[in-house]
Amino acid sequence: MLSTDEIRRIDHEIALVPVRKAASIEALKIVQHHRGWISDESLQAIAAHLGMSAEELDSVATFYNLIFRKPVGRNIILLCDSISCYVMGYEQIYTHLQALLHIKFGETTPDDRFTLLPNPCLGSCDHAPVLMINQDTYRDLTTEKLQEILKEYK
Amino acid sequence: MERPLTQHINFNRSSLNLKDYQSVGGYQAVEKALTSMAPGDITKMVIEADLKGRGGAGFSTGTKWSFVPMNTLGQTKYLIANADEMEPGTFKDRMLLEGNPHQLIEGMIVAAYAIQANISYVFLRWAYKKAAWLIKHAIEEAYTAGYLGKNILGSGFNLEMHLHTGIGRYMCGEETALLNALEGKRATPRTKPPFPQVSGLFGKPTIVNNVETLCNIPHIVNHGADWFKDLSPGSDAGTKIYGISGRVNKPGLWELPMGTTVRELLETHAGGMKKGVSFRAVLPGGASTDFLVEEHLDVKMDYKSIAAAGSRLGTGTMIVLDDQTCPVGFIHNLEHFFAQESCGWCTPCREGLPWTEKILLSIENGTGRPEDLELLEMHTKHLGPGNTFCALAPGAMEPLQSGLKYFRADFEKHIKEKKCPWR
Ligand SMILES: Cc1cc2nc3c(=O)[nH]c(=O)nc-3n(C[C@H](O)[C@H](O)[C@H](O)COP(=O)(O)O)c2cc1C
Ligand code: SF4
Ligand code: FES
């Protein structure tokens, strides 16, 4: 079941496009924003609202890197693993993150505080290594800075 | 030296709002174009200026616009700014988006007028949170000031503009895949023809241009085609936003005349290599371009000169490979990216890129075999131009084929010594 607020926001997107289905990505974003991830139930509810099959919507949802079809933690850490960050040592940052959080890429801490994911180039290559946590970008990372940065996220 | 695109960008101040932008001559090009020029005149001017697309392929912008059908009163057409910037090592559009969002919006309005499009989108990469906020705000300001909406400046021209933020996939930057993403589908590319200029978003004529390309438009309209050509002493017109990342003293971005040499960029602007490391090679225009090495340092960074040296200008943002970084590991990192981002639509790329990645990993880890080098060579042919549905796979092969050429001895050493000499 979609909430009235979700439906209101999805309908706003539907009004902007010539066919309902074209709002599918926006609808996934809206529901994920409210619920953190897209469960099978959410997927079915969105698909029904857009007049498409759940399978078709799932093929869209699973295509994109940032629609989560599994539960994630309260805070998402995206560590850039692309070329400039490779040269500037993202691997040390990853090793250090693993030591601090005891999780690997693709995992969530047992207290649901963090999910750690690798991510392609974050567009700050002149300040590599780089990571994002939720909406925030951290550049020129060093292992010393990590602990301070993580403190901000509860 | 003129720097039209970045002259008003100053990151020690906040980004330019509408008033700031107007106070430095902003929106004069919209006024001039919409009130005193015919759409066809603008396209002609852009062709004469010899502006080439800054998104990677370098196609003439005005010529691209000229393919849009024009006897189409009342028909919907679209103009899209490609702000999906996700090529590893590329960070130039971000500066334009964050530093001066109205410049892009102004370029889009003029471009839309030239092709008589009435709906426009900024297709923005999700990671650019600050840019999203700034663009959204700037679009609102432009509506309030009457530069967007109905009957702009009394010209009778209408234009709506929307911001679309993506949800992450390199393929969204490929222009026909971008159209599918905007239609709420998987970002797989479309067969051409029909070209988007004729049948694009929702089947309507559509132009997709890169952010930097569009930001040049107001300046060309204000100052003319000859002025634009004179910005560069070389064979390609205008300025270019060049960037450097890697182990240099001052990584960053600089707007310079088109055709600045690799050496000048590296030594003068990026301050040379960091202490203790030396230069080995550079990818001149992002992850999907061929390496250039020491002997190419005096090559001009313009379309023709770089092509003659065996590479491509691409996005103009260079990634430096130094002597402390393993070239095999470096290339493996690139191919890992391409394999992950392959959309899976065509077989050579879907199967070939993961295979390439695996071979490179085994060489890097010391379990490579001598015949693996031939296998890699084979892939550079099978995944090369003409064998795949879009340019992702051929792009992925560029650093690999040139890497096999320039770093052959390093590959062989990994295989012979059964380990990475850098680890
Ligand atoms: C896999 C792939 C990714 C691309 N990503 C981008 C991108 O992020 N931004 C961009 O402007 N062009 C990108 N392009 C190039 C576009 O397809 C297209 O050529 C460009 O947006 C046209 O604009 P221009 O003529 O102004 O350069 C990409 C191409 C491919 C094959
Ligand atoms: S070359 Fe790769 S990315 Fe392009 S269509 Fe084929 S599978 Fe998709
Ligand atoms: S490669 Fe890491 S931010 Fe670009």
The structural domains of chain B, ordered by start, are 18-230 (3.40.50.11540), 239-322 (3.10.20.600), 327-417 (1.20.1440.230)
- Amino acid letter, A16: L
Ligand 3 close to Cβ of residue A31 (< 6 A) = no
- Amino acid letter, B82: N
Provide the percentage of residues in chain B whose pLDDT is more than 90. Answer: 96
B162 Cβ under 8 Å from any chain A Cβ: yes
For residue A76, the cross-strand partners are A115
**B283/B235: higher pLDDT:** B283
B249 Cβ under 8 Å from any chain A Cβ: no
Predicted confidence at residue B13, as pLDDT, reads 81
Range of lowest pLDDT (A8-22, B7-21, B121-135, B196-210): B7-21
Ligand 1 close to Cβ of residue B81 (< 6 A) = no
Q: What is the mean pLDDT of chain B?
A: 96
Ligand 2 close to Cβ of residue B393 (< 6 A) = yes
Write the secondary structure of B311-368 as one string of H (helix), E (strand) and C (coil): CCCCCCEEEEEECCCCHHHHHHHHHHHHHHHCCCCCHHHHHHHHHHHHHHHHHHCCCC
Predicted confidence at residue B14, as pLDDT, reads 81
Closest CA to B289 of B265, B315, B263: B315
pLDDT at B10 over 90: no
Provide, as residue numbers in chain A, all residues whose Cβ is less than 8 Å from the Cβ of B128: 123
pLDDT digits (tens, 9 = 90+) for A60-86: 999 999 999 999 999 999 999 999 999
pLDDT band at B11 (very low <50, low <70, confident <90, very high): confident
pLDDT at B234 over 90: no
Predicted confidence at residue B224, as pLDDT, reads 97
Say if strands B239-245 and B317-322 run parallel, antiparallel, or are unpaired.
parallel
Candidates B129, B170, B325; nearest CB to A87: B325
| Structural tokens at position A94 | 């990853």
Could B182 and A22 be called an inter-chain contact, meaning their C-beta atoms sit closer than 8 Å? yes
pLDDT at B40 over 90: yes
Q: How far does chain B reach from its first CA to its final CA, in angstroms? A: 45
Closest CA to B187 of B347, B390, B393, B397: B390
pLDDT at B208 over 90: yes
Candidates A63, A83, A127; nearest CB to B88: A83
Provide, as residue numbers in chain A, all residues whose Cβ is less than 8 Å from the Cβ of B336: 81
Ligand 1 close to Cβ of residue B248 (< 6 A) = no
Find the mean pLDDT for residues B366-383: 97
Predicted confidence at residue B8, as pLDDT, reads 94
pLDDT digits (tens, 9 = 90+) for B144-176: 999 999 999 999 999 999 999 989 999 999 999
Predicted confidence at residue B74, as pLDDT, reads 83
Rounded Cα gap, residues A94 and A97, in angstroms: 5
Provide, as residue numbers in chain B, all residues whose Cβ is less than 8 Å from the Cβ of A81: 333, 336
Specify the pTM: 0.97
- CB B68 within 8 Å of CB B77: yes
Stretches where chain A sits below pLDDT 70 are none
Predicted confidence at residue B409, as pLDDT, reads 98
Find the mean pLDDT for residues B321-347: 97
pLDDT digits (tens, 9 = 90+) for B260-310: 999 999 999 999 999 999 999 999 999 999 999 999 999 999 999 999 999
Rounded Cα gap, residues B234 and B300, in angstroms: 8
Provide, as residue numbers in chain A, all residues whose Cβ is less than 8 Å from the Cβ of B330: 83, 86-87
Ligand 2 close to Cβ of residue B390 (< 6 A) = yes
Q: Ligand 1 centre from B214 Cα, in Å?
A: 13
pLDDT at B12 over 90: no
Rounded Cα gap, residues B303 and A10, in angstroms: 44
Rounded Cα gap, residues B249 and B235, in angstroms: 30
Q: Which residues neighbour B23 within 8 Å (Cβ) at sequence distance 6 or greater?
A: none
